[in-house]
Structure 1
Amino acid sequence: TSSRCADLALHAFARGRLCLPEGGAEALPEHLAAALPPGVVRTGVRVTSVSTSSVRTAEHGAFTCRAVLLATDARAAAELLPGLRVPPFHEVTVVHHTAPEPPLDGPALLLDADRGGPVAHTAVISQVDPSRAPVGRVLVSSTVLGPPPEESAVRAHLAALYGTPTDRWERLGVHHTREAVPAMPPPHDIRRPVRLLSGLYVCGDHRDTSTVQGALHSGRRAAHAVLTDFGITPSYARETLPTAA
């Protein structure tokens, strides 16, 4: 990984401004969609091609438009826009456990600096957002950089990281994503172009840093590019947003 990207990640950790959307990851897109007029957001529609003035779909015909902003993962973007490069990826596995009581007193992200086992980092998610845990339990989510490891190895590593036995923990689920995040080998451009040409824009973690923050930041850059081409000056009203746990 590029040292520049690693420095940005460490800076974010040091600032202590990590957060989770309250109610689950879907809370953020739901909040964004709620600000739009009814009926303009369509889901479950497979797009087959895009241009500066239209979007063609597999089963719903074509939609005309003034501009297209493609907000997908890197591979899906390259399939619709063949000129885009598909980067190498890192696979990631997330393991969720429930426990009878929290192994830590407060919200914290534990990083394995010693590489003493398969877990790269872990957190008691319900200490931040209690709604994510089953009733009467706490939720511990752990990230593994690679394919799913043996459960015994994960439990042993978590016991060492938290300094507590894990024999009463229950595995809730394992989610493995082969192409989870684009790799960022040096030199990595953290501000790849989001404006391909007037009327055609692309955003995602493959245009910035390979993080949620990078994806959101690239989306903001793309939105600015669209507004600029439309001759609109961006303005953002201050408002009180729902709590971000």
Structure 2
Amino acid sequence: MSQKKQLKITFLGTATSTGVPMISSKNPVRYSEDKRDKRLRASVVISWDDNNYVIDCGPDFRQQMLRANIESIKAILFTHEHADHIAGFDEIRPYYYQMGPVPIYSDERVLRALERRYEYIFTTENRYPSAPAVDPTVISHNDVLTFDGVEVTPIKVMHGDLPILGYRFGDVAYLTDVKYIPEEEKEKLKGLDILITTALRKESHKTHANLEEALELVNELKPKRAYFTHISELLGFHAEIEKDLPENVFLAYDELEVTV
């Protein structure tokens, strides 16, 4: 049995793939002066005992890590291979210079995608001198891991028709790009202190849960608290949406820190 640890969740980014505001957008959210309406691509770091575990490294990774002052990491866990979740992969170089090959965790499909897109990181021949290196571990939703005394369980969720991974760290679950969750995987999500999940917009979407579906999931799983992420500007202004949410449900925003 893993010892209960105090976890800190830092939201590095809370936006959908285009970021908020989106380039050339005329949506009113673009002109908001509320910093909570300025969102980088979705990612979190989960920390305890000076250990930092990052989930996803999208195109804003460098900016996010500087902003959050994350000087060291233990590993990166990947949810899936879409660009808004992996496009900052080369920015792991400073961590590689510090620690050597950076541990990464993903399923087989995502690892193959990383190898194709970042061949120079994985090659063992004629390596570019400043290229980073990684120490990959292939995982699946059937695994249970332990990182520095915390049990970590991969969760299979469906991003439309694409199976991807969410992660439960202790009693905190991070599930991004969710449309629905297989019933057998919901069993892994009982008794949560914190559920973090997708609420893309108000209207229905083929591959992401909308606000109504996210609230239905919270009502079904009954975590103590829930935070919504992977948000589009089409959801609306942060302040207006949050005031109508249940008292234990919140919109996440960039740089928000939550401890449990």
Q: TM-score if structure 1 supplies the norm length?
A: 0.29
Q: Which structure is richer in relative contact order (CA contacts within 8 A, separation 6 or more)?
A: 1
The structure having more radius of gyration, on CA atoms, is 1
